[in-house]
Structure 1
Amino acid sequence: MELDRFIYPFASAVVFAMIFSQAGAFDPLDPNGNITIKWDVMSWTPDGYVAVVTITNFQMYRHIMSPGWTLGWTWAKKEIIWSMVGAQATEQGDCSKFKINIPHCCKRNPTVVDLLPGVPYNQQIANCCKGGVVSSWGQDPSTAVSSFQLSVGQSGTTNKTVRLPKNFTLLGPGRGYTCSQATIVQPSVFLSSDGRRQTQAMMTWNVTCTYSQMLASPSPTCCVSMSSFYNSTITPCPTCACGCQNKKNCVSSDSNILSVVGVNTPPTQDNTPLLLCTQHMCPVRVHWHVKLNYKDYWRVKISIINFNYLVNYTQWTLVVQHPNLNNLTQVFSFDYKPLIPYPSTNDSGMFYGIKFYNDVLMEAGPDGNVQSELILEKDTNTFTFNQGWAFPRKVYFNGDECMMPLPDEYPYLPNSAIANWISMSTILGALLILELIAFW
């Protein structure tokens, strides 16, 4: 009985920890990644304040792609938004009690979106108006920031009377982000354009939003297939890796509907994808092919294929974890940046498209793929083609982990291949000895 009293609470704690670890936002390849929302009160007004809100994406390889960010919150009191620059509220709400000056938004829980490119200059501020698209910090820090300005009324007019907004949401429900409550921090300091004068915000608070793939999607959104030069077998994506076929969620390659689907076709009303019918039913498949073997190097070809007829993946990212990436020598037609999650190893890296060349993965069809080749120097202490060592340990596309085949399904190295290599080495060695004898 005493043992039960100990085991049950312990077991419950373990189960809770397992559930939390799956639903939580910790990413071992990007342990410090988050999106931070900083709210700087720049000046006080007769009934409130003017603030600049800055959204910074500190995630190394997960960006916010089209249709862009949406930011929501709940006011603590009866605040209103008099005006906005660089963004707009999606709904005005009930402003009927205002007869002369009509506020921009009177909702208690406003939702705000970024403005599209090309708006008049007087509606812009720095880092605004990109349609809500925000790059990952690892890919391009200069475009990993989005900002807007708002004038808030019917709020406090001092640090002691202002109440912080609550219940922040980013990208809306079902998009995978969970946001903390706002926390007052040290007021931000700003430098003038010439760098000679400092100004300070009246008040600053931060909100941190973290991502969980489980919250964003109940099933994976990509999968990995494999092949190699030393085995004629191609290991496909696992069957039903991202779901199973039915008549409603995919179309065959000869479907009439594909004749009217264009590059800029908008998503369906319920945002369901239009996928090509496959045995894996994933929007994206990553193929890893072990292509060639040299004396001191080996070569890999990576292909990314889009099976979604309604989505262009702008500024896509591909993250690969493999122990030989610390000896990556050359990458063709992709950009590459190593990730260093732990000081003792460098076994993971981020691949992404070259700007204006292949940074957009087009919708499904003839152009719906991008590919590159890698040359890696062999680490003589660990390198082998045996037991699937040449294939990646983990693969992420646009920040989501892809479904991998089971290890025992990887293309294996035939026993005959080992014997052939040994025989060839013996023959080459004998020929070399004969040449040396003849020379001398």
Structure 2
Amino acid sequence: MRLLVILATMALIYSSAAAYDPLDPNGNITVKWDVMSWTPDGYVATVTMNNFQMYRHIMSPGWTLGWTWAKKEVIWSMQGAQTTEQGDCSKFKGNIPHCCKKTPTVVDLLPGVPYNQQFTNCCKGGVVAAWGQDPTASVSAFQVSVGQAGTSNKTVKLPKNFTLLGPGPGYTCGPAKVVPSTTFLTSDRRRKTQALMTWNVTCTYSQFLARKNPNCCASFSSFYNETITPCPSCACGCQSKSNCLRSDSKILTKAGINTPRKDNAPLLQCTHHMCPVRVHWHVKLNYKDYWRVKISITNFNYRMNYTLWSLVIQHPNLNNVTQVFSFNYRPLVPYESINDTGMFYGMKYYNDLLMEAGPSGNVQSEVLLQKDKNTFSFRQGWAFPHKVYFNGDECMLPPPDTYPYLPSSAHHSPISFSASIFLCLILFLVVDCFAT
């Protein structure tokens, strides 16, 4: 019995640690239920999903929200979303509920649905932006009319076992908790009203739960060394090595090869790392007071377009970013005393879509950074990132001892051949002058 308790405690600690992100310690998705009115057998609620994660968004095919009813509740109707199954509603005659399942699964509606089916912040195909990237697009909502549920704060029972998929696994949701009722402004913004009852559900993300292998890798190069440090071999696992395609494969010319599958199974270009995405960091130029970096992101998946992509870099000199040329940029300060992390993301309608593998499957930018004379150095891999995240998942970095090294003579100013001749001539004249 004692062993079981110890194992359970260790599992709890490990799962909590796996969900903790040191670069976004307060990031989560909060699902809020606001009971807005009572009905003869239940209530009408507004369900709002707020993505408070700084750089992790929910991309297509969007979120899926599920739960288990505490009693024998049914969903009479919905606006702004729908359930994936109706369930067994055979006991109802005449007015048939929208869903009778004990464990309903809800998805967002697609853009362009009729106006009478829409709701505020709905109908985006389940795509929700990261709060740090676009706060106005980091919310999704729908309305649900629940029956057989109780008609007061004392008789309503909170749903249980919430699940959030977005668009794959990785999220773990805690229990629903009653919180102070949400306050709203009326349409004329002159009077405040409040929900009759409110409860919250908090969901956190764990890359460990999402997949057993990384989803991206990083490679490095520099102007001062011709060596390119590649992604580690099998950085993202090599399970799909037998199914990958060479970049010159004739299959790629066939129609439909880029069509996504329902199970989101990737179709990868054959590489030694077998990652869907590679981030390359190139130390490009060195000025007196500045240095310049080129960042390239390459997509090796023939079946995936990355919408609203984000790239997070941790590097000590990001506290002195002077200019970013073709990406958006904002610093991330997870802790007040440390400013070494920043988020890069695409410019709307320009490069916010990272296309599938092929000639257009890459985006790139350059970054100008001001040197901090107390810490700046090209030695011992200082010029390369400490951490790299793509779309909220940490990328595998090469081993530090393989980084492009700084030649031992690089700290000396090289003297050209013509300058050497000039110095020798000066020395000869000086010696000859003293000799006479």
Matched, 1:344 2:322: no
User: Counterparts of 1:172 and 1:27 in 2: how far apart (Å)?
Assistant: 18
* Aligned-pair CA distance for 1:125: 1.1
Matched, 1:120 2:83: no
CA contact (8 A) 1:245 1:278 kept: no
Matches for 1:131-280 after TM superposition, within 5 Å: 131-171=125-165, 175-244=169-238, 246=240, 248-260=242-254, 265-280=258-273
Q: Which deviates more from structure 2 when the two are superposed, residues 407-416 or residues 295-304?
A: 407-416
* Aligned-pair CA distance for 1:17: 8.0
User: Counterparts of 1:18 and 1:110 in 2: how far apart (Å)?
Assistant: 30
Q: What per-residue deviation string (whole Å, max 9, x for no partner) do you get for residues 96-151 of structure 1?
A: 11110010000000000000000111111110000000000000000000000010
Name 1:19's counterpart in structure 2.
14
From 36, 44, 49, give the equivalent of 1:55. 49
Q: What per-residue deviation string (whole Å, max 9, x for no partner) do you get for residues 308-328 of structure 1?
A: 000000000000000000000
Amino acid of the structure 2 residue aligned with 1:325: L
Amino acid of the structure 2 residue aligned with 1:368: G
CA contact (8 A) 1:245 1:279 kept: no
Distance 1:376 1:14, change over 3 A: farther
- In structure 2, the residue corresponding to 1:275 is in which secondary structure? coil
- In structure 1, the residue corresponding to 2:252 is in which secondary structure? helix
Amino acid of the structure 1 residue aligned with 2:232: P
* Aligned-pair CA distance for 1:16: 5.7
Amino acid of the structure 1 residue aligned with 2:124: K
- In structure 2, the residue corresponding to 1:419 is in which secondary structure? coil
From 393, 398, 404, give the equivalent of 2:397. 404
Q: Which deviates more from structure 2 when the two are superposed, residues 188-197 or residues 44-53?
A: 188-197
CA contact (8 A) 1:333 1:371 kept: yes
Name 2:365's counterpart in structure 1.
372
* Aligned-pair CA distance for 1:193: 2.8
Distance 1:395 1:103, change over 3 A: same
From 69, 77, 94, give the equivalent of 1:75. 69
Distance 1:21 1:83, change over 3 A: closer
- In structure 2, the residue corresponding to 1:214 is in which secondary structure? helix
Structure 1 residue runs without a partner (length 5+): 1-7, 435-440
User: Counterparts of 1:172 and 1:352 in 2: how far apart (Å)?
Assistant: 20
* Aligned-pair CA distance for 1:19: 3.3
Amino acid of the structure 2 residue aligned with 1:416: S
Amino acid of the structure 2 residue aligned with 1:86: G
- In structure 2, the residue corresponding to 1:19 is in which secondary structure? helix
Name 1:282's counterpart in structure 2.
275
Name 1:43's counterpart in structure 2.
37
- In structure 2, the residue corresponding to 1:418 is in which secondary structure? coil
* Aligned-pair CA distance for 1:342: 1.1
Distance 1:95 1:13, change over 3 A: closer
Q: TM-score, normalised by structure 1?
A: 0.91
Q: What per-residue deviation string (whole Å, max 9, x for no partner) do you get for residues 386-414 of structure 1?
A: 00100000000000000000110000001
Q: What per-residue deviation string (whole Å, max 9, x for no partner) do you get for residues 45-103 of structure 1?
A: 00000000000000000000000001000000000000000000000000011110010
* Aligned-pair CA distance for 1:417: 2.0
Between the two proteins, what is the percent identity of the paired residues?
73
Distance 1:52 1:252, change over 3 A: same
CA contact (8 A) 1:174 1:217 kept: no
Q: What per-residue deviation string (whole Å, max 9, x for no partner) do you get for residues 213-272 of structure 1?
A: 000010000000000000000000000000126554311112232112559x43234321
Distance 1:21 1:198, change over 3 A: closer
Distance 1:172 1:369, change over 3 A: closer
- In structure 1, the residue corresponding to 2:380 is in which secondary structure? helix
Name 1:324's counterpart in structure 2.
317
User: Counterparts of 1:15 and 1:168 in 2: how far apart (Å)?
Assistant: 23
User: Counterparts of 1:146 and 1:199 in 2: how far apart (Å)?
Assistant: 21
- In structure 2, the residue corresponding to 1:251 is in which secondary structure? coil
User: Counterparts of 2:334 and 2:12 in 1: how far apart (Å)?
Assistant: 22
CA contact (8 A) 1:249 1:273 kept: no
Amino acid of the structure 2 residue aligned with 1:321: Q
CA contact (8 A) 2:60 2:167 kept: no
- In structure 1, the residue corresponding to 2:107 is in which secondary structure? strand
Structure 2 residue runs without a partner (length 5+): 427-436
Distance 1:45 1:14, change over 3 A: closer
Matched, 1:129 2:123: yes
User: Counterparts of 2:156 and 2:321 in 1: how far apart (Å)?
Assistant: 53
Distance 1:133 1:163, change over 3 A: same
* Aligned-pair CA distance for 1:420: 3.8
How many matched pairs? 418
- In structure 1, the residue corresponding to 2:409 is in which secondary structure? helix
User: Counterparts of 2:12 and 2:348 in 1: how far apart (Å)?
Assistant: 42
Distance 1:261 1:227, change over 3 A: farther
CA contact (8 A) 1:250 1:276 kept: yes
User: Counterparts of 1:200 and 1:17 in 2: how far apart (Å)?
Assistant: 36
- In structure 2, the residue corresponding to 1:42 is in which secondary structure? strand
User: Counterparts of 2:193 and 2:376 in 1: how far apart (Å)?
Assistant: 56
Distance 1:235 1:53, change over 3 A: same
Q: TM-score, normalised by structure 2?
A: 0.92
Distance 1:269 1:188, change over 3 A: closer
User: Counterparts of 1:372 and 1:270 in 2: how far apart (Å)?
Assistant: 32
